A and B are shown apart, each in its own frame.
Chain A
Amino acid sequence: MLYSIGCTARINAQDPTYPTYKAIACTAHMTANNTGFPGALIDCTATITGIIVAACRSYNQGIRLVVTIDDVNVSASLVGSLNIQHDKNQISDVTLYLGDTEYSPRTNSHIDIDKIIVITAYINGYEKKLFTGSLDKPSAVNTPDFLVTITARDYGKKLLDKKTTVVSVQDLADTTKRNDLIKYLASVASVTDVDIPEMDAVTIDNSFTHQTVWDMIQKEAMVELYWIKFDEEGNLKLLLDEIKSDTELYPNPDWTYTEDRITRLGYEKDEVKINKIIVLGKTTSSRIPNYGEKNDVFVSDTITWGAEENIYDYTGSSGLFTITAKGTGTGTSYFDYVLTFSYSGGFKFKNGAVTVSAGGFLGGKLDKVTSRDSLQSVYVSFYAKRPRVSTTIEYVIEGTSQSVTYEERYDQISASVTDPNSIVKYGERDGGSIEYPLLETVEQCTAVGSKIIRDSHRLLGQTDFNIPFNPLVKTGQTILITDTKIGVNERYYIESVNHNVGFGDGKVNAETVLGGVLYV
């Protein structure tokens, strides 16, 4: 154990007060031994994230930000304010200002489009990365105060900037599992750091015509009710769209903020938009045959080929039959042929006989060939003498004919989803129909419909509130807030996180504005 140690840490318990990251289990693996010192002693240092949670919830925050652009630390030149906006299922963006002429985008090659920008916060001695992304469009003004404005977005930008056509993704990806499809689509936009949970295999063709990769991945993720996020490290993550409002399944909210931690609390209520919707999924096509009247068919005739006549290229007809002969081989004293009787239209063979009355003999019995459309043709092989003499064939063919036409029928799977409780409470709000061609089953349609209805109930209770700067709050977490004046005492789902850091007069003023939604 003298040389190296592999250490994995995982969270294995939640604390009611600080339910996120409170407890940590740490396993140390010995990977090497030294003779005479067989790893008797292991020094293990575990940094417990619980401490950073407490640091973020403190009243008294020591804050420092480090911003690097293209690996150049520009923190000393930050002026005005810095704003980081995360919204659920959207691309995060950043705005900041630099007050030093050194960083003019005209003269400094590091301040350029697509350069990597990383923002790290140090809060009460703990480090937390806030953002990894790339520069959008740097600009500068001189008024005469010099100011460089930097805007940046996370790597979702790569997906949004790449517009293309992808045909049959399931054939291009490693497997036909949807997570591999998404992984492949991300790679089309040069995003390779992905963390996507395993999903079911797709059973239909997934093709996308000229559109952004962002849209493609959104459509794929929607089927399995996932949403897209690029985390602080720049990794693509798919997160299950679960509300965590079930207090039995999730007894503790991720965060608890009471009045003594909130500097502003707003509440807004709007009406329900949709509680009834039809979701249309994939379309399948089928061919249905229509049969006409049945008629008896009977032909009886002879064919004679003179000694000089070529049987090889023979095409003749009798009634609605077309008769062809084809050479199949040449023996020392016979030529081999196949004679075929084809009916133009639906024909079903019943009976028949062919005889070679002169100049040859039959090679077998009449046989039938049934095609896909139950059209039948009849054939027989025969031999004609070599050298050729006059050859005569007599034939009788009996059967029935029936005409067939086909109809193409298209079926689309669909689910009509309603929320009866909501209809009773708020009246019916019909959302019409919506089409997701990638949905393969009725269950998926129902799940998507339920999600749409649930999303439309989000307007019933929305809060936005300001808390002391907390770099650990993420979209998709839940927060319990209590305020006696407005009467808010619920668990909200965090759909937007906005970090505002101001640097007026060298003083730092940092806060986090959260947008919470109450799903009922």
Chain B
Amino acid sequence: MTDIAIGNTTISNPINYIHSPAKMETYNRSLNGKMIVNRSVNGEDQPVSKYHFEIPGLVESEMFLVKEEAIKKGNLYLIDYHKIIEVMSGDGTTKSFTLQRFLSGDTPVPEIEVNDTGLTETVTTATDPTAGNVFVNKDTGVMTFGTAPTDVDNNIVIKYEPKYTVHVISYEHMFLFSTTARYTLICEEV
């Protein structure tokens, strides 16, 4: 287990850490039982999901720093050093797609596949890659493809380490024994 960076605090080795994506979807059943799914999509028509974080096992010194930051700013950056996957759909003409989150940094470099074929990825602010290349801007999440991905559903798969923008929803202070307490921090992606 690696550390988690939240705001300006590093939380070392939290155990039982949970991050869970919530798909922005609702489900209905038709009269004969078939499922009807309504998805929220963004301006690029990609499905939207938001992450939920539960960080238990914080020690008091870490908790106070997080509390202080959360109160000051409201929204914090959170990097948990775990890679996540995003899936997008090309339309044959669009070359620029936007990740739902920023990159954690210059490294690790995202792994991007279009139609199951890997591309050459570069983290840069430039936006003029040649064919077979893809440029990713780490501070905006914008990916620019040298060749527009074809018009196939779910053909762009990105594996990357994100920097989430989170809001501290609540925190818990649980006493295990009279002198032993445990803090739990609950955040959600804004």
Q: Which residues of A contact B (CB under 8 A)?
A: 59-64, 122, 124-125, 259-265, 468-469, 483, 485, 502, 506-511
Contact = CB atoms under 8 A, between A and B. Distances in A.
A260 B32 contact: yes
A60 B48 CA distance: 14
A263 B38 contact: no
B37 A59 contact: yes
B91 interface: yes
B83 interface: no
B61 interface: no
Interface string B75-119: 000000000000000010000000000000000000000000000
Contact of B45 (A64, A485, A507): A64
Contacts of A259: 30-32
Contacts of A261: 30, 36
B35 interface: yes
B46 to A, nearest CB: 8
Interface string B10-41: 00000000000000111011111011111111
B50 interface: yes
Nearest to A59: B36
B37 A61 contact: yes
A263 B39 CA distance: 17
B141 interface: no
A510 B38 CA distance: 7
Nearest to B32: A259
Interface residues of B, number: 23
B29 A64 contact: no
A261 B28 CA distance: 10
Counting chain A CB atoms within 10 Å of each CB, which of B30, B42, B45 scores highest?
B30
Contacts of A469: 38
Contact of A468 (B24, B36, B47): B36
Given A64-B42, A64-B43, A262-B31, A506 B37 contact: no
Nearest to A468: B36
Contacts of A511: 28, 38
Given A483-B31, A508-B26, A511-B28, 5 more contacts: A61-B36, A260-B34, A263-B29, A508-B38, A508-B40
A273 B96 CA distance: 62
A483 B24 CA distance: 31
Nearest to A486: B31
Interface of B: 24-26, 28-32, 34-43, 45, 47-48, 50, 91
Contacts of B24: 506-508
B39 A63 contact: yes
Main SS class of interface, B: strand
Contacts of B29: 263
A263 B28 contact: yes
Give the 9 A-B residue pairs with the shortest CB-CB distance, closest first: A62-B41, A509-B26, A508-B40, A259-B32, A259-B31, A62-B39, A125-B45, A60-B37, A260-B34
Nearest to B45: A125
Given A62-B41, A122-B41, A507 B25 contact: yes
Contacts of B25: 507-508
B31 A485 contact: yes
Contact of B40 (A64, A124, A468): A64
A262 B36 CA distance: 9
Given A64-B43, A125-B91, A510-B38, A468 B28 contact: yes
Nearest to B89: A125
A404 B36 CA distance: 83
A92 B30 CA distance: 27
Contacts of B35: 59
A60 B39 contact: yes
Contacts of A124: 45
A192 B47 CA distance: 41
Nearest to B34: A260
Contacts of B26: 502, 507-509
Contacts of B37: 59-61
B31 to A, nearest CB: 4
A63 B40 contact: yes
Contacts of B39: 60-63, 508
A124 B41 CA distance: 9
Contacts of B91: 125
21 contacts: A59-B36, A62-B39, A62-B47, A63-B40, A64-B41, A64-B45, A122-B45, A125-B45, A260-B30, A262-B31, A468-B36, A485-B31, A502-B26, A507-B24, A507-B26, A507-B40, A508-B24, A508-B40, A509-B26, A511-B28, A511-B38
Given A483-B31, A485-B31, A507-B24, A263 B41 contact: no
Contacts of A61: 36-39
A144 B40 CA distance: 27
Contacts of B28: 263, 468, 509, 511
Contact of A59 (B34, B47, B48): B34
A485 B40 CA distance: 33
B31 A506 contact: no
Contacts of A122: 41, 45
A348 to B, nearest CB: 87
